[in-house]
Chain A
């Protein structure tokens, strides 16, 4: 099938959107943005400086009071307008995402939908932000109330794996509640968010929503500047720890989402055909680069092992790898040459440590895309929980099969991980499902579903080393993160 057309072949040199205008950053340092399927250059990202970032912060601070004084119902109307524009550009957003990140077009369309859903949820700000009061709450004739108020300017430091969606876990809630916002997109996949900013550029008053492209210097400037009230971050655990610590040192609110090592547990009574199809989507969807992707496949007991493994391997062999703009592609490339190298290193490590490489995706060739950063579906058997590939986040299409004798053993193994992002169980047994839900220390838990991606009106974050902070992304947690409660006690003489 012919490829879907790319929106553009080259998006040129990116600029920053500050105070309602696209401006050239002061920096002279640029890096190429690549299409991971073709390895061709599709744009140039500036490494904006601290001064570039401060300009954006000052403009956002300047815009804040007027935006704060804009009534919530009016702010909601801005969100409706943003939603409608996003709908008009739905397909372009998805295709750019595929072009720069590699995920297939269905996944990109799904991500675009989820981005819009967060705008829709945030548009309910008039209800979500409502405070509370109690007549005679303090004493007779003395009333007490709690008002929910915005704080100022916030920022997002975004990862590569969801080029559009992840800033949407944050900015719609921040802006709808009366804050101003600065997004720093991933340096690997900045084009999607620059496109989104371009289509939304006339929606909000100048300074309300801004974008600063770059790398560490931008992130540090956001974390250190007193004009920023809080930071939302998604990425690896070591960086999440740094962000958490650095924001705390600078007196900021922070929600820092880290890495994951998610286990999918299969019980002997699972509906195997449905289970296998769902697990394939979890392990190999987005080429394993979701923080909610399955990583360890855990059959409980020999019967489950015998029932699930052959079907899973058969299914994995049928996964069609290619450029995501071909609508028949099941799995695209990984995001970059560095990512590919790192994943191949983990596969080598698995072999060295004695795991049995049953499906080897290292040498896959995709006709027409020979230079692309492709890795085929990979699966290891005979993996023990102490092996590197069982413990560390690989972030690629690599499955480690780690059988366990009982459900209790599986729960113990999962709970012993440093990560606590997600886990799933496949079973028809309510008691097993209940025990799994009750005893597991993870933030997102699936029962017969392998990608436990909270909808926009539910909170999203993991436990343990998968999350540093208190309030999660999305939903009411996001409203709380971007607002404070002001208690007023009133007495009238």
Chain B
């Protein structure tokens, strides 16, 4: 997991999965944040 040294193929694949899932959850969190504000804006515009 450390920054030093080349990762094995398995390790590289795991690092890819870690990055992918971290980004996915960050996008979900940001989506919830923006969605609630968007819903309120839509409601206020009615």
A and B interact:
no
**Which B residues lie at the A interface, using CB under 8 A?**
none
**Which A residues lie at the B interface, using CB under 8 A?**
none
